[in-house]
Structure 1
Amino acid sequence: MADDDITERITQLIDEEHRIQRDHIGREATTEERDQLRAIEVQLDRYWDLLRQRQARRESGQNPDDADLRSANTVENYRQ
């Protein structure tokens, strides 16, 4: 997946996140909406991670195409 494709996917996810947030302005979000937002957050984390992997590979002289979209479990359990 090319950087432009990853960036486009990130933009789509952000747009979807904003749509869901707008849909429940003035009322509490439903369980379904909260679940959808959490799923979007995880997907955003995964795609941002992929973009960072590609950049790091490029900067170190490696092939950015060898970067893989890591699992949600891997990305969400990084130690900070």
Structure 2
Amino acid sequence: MDQQQILARIAEMVDAEKTLRESLASGAIDEATERARLGVLERELDQCWDLLRRRRAKEEFGGDPDSVRARPVAQVEGYQS
């Protein structure tokens, strides 16, 4: 997946997240099911952002960005802010 594909996927997920949050706020959907779906979406989004940042860093310092692979969700979610 190249940078443009990652950015396109992030944009899709951000739109889906926004739609889900609006639906949850309006009470138009089953809350339990959609909260679980939202959690999965948030974790995938974090994973994509991590991949994009690491690819950009690799390229900036002369490395091959195609050598960077997505990290497991558990690893990405365990980062300290």
Please give the secondary structure, in 2, of the residue aligned with 1:24. Answer: helix
Per-residue CA deviation, residues 33-76 of structure 1 (Å, 9 max, x unaligned), is 11111111100100000000111101111000011011100100
Task: Tell me the CA shift for residue 25 of structure 1.
Answer: 2.9
- Structure 2 partner of 1:55: 56
Check if 1:69 corresponds to 2:70.
yes
Aligned-pair RMSD on alpha carbons?
A: 1.5
Structure 2 counterpart SS, 1:69? coil
Unaligned runs of 5+ in 1: none
CA distance in 1, matches of 2:26, 2:15: 19
Query: What's the TM-score, normalizing by structure 1?
Result: 0.90
Q: Counting helix residues as a fraction of each chain, which structure ranks higher?
A: 2
Q: Identity of paired residues, percent?
A: 34
CA distance in 2, matches of 1:78, 1:25: 29
Q: TM-score, normalised by structure 2?
A: 0.89
* Structure-1 residue corresponding to 2:25: 25
| Cα distance in 1 for residues equivalent to 2:49 and 2:23 | 25
Question: Are positions 1:42 and 2:50 aligned together?
Answer: no
Aligned to 1:5: 5
Stretches of 4+ aligned residues off by more than 2 angstroms: 24-29
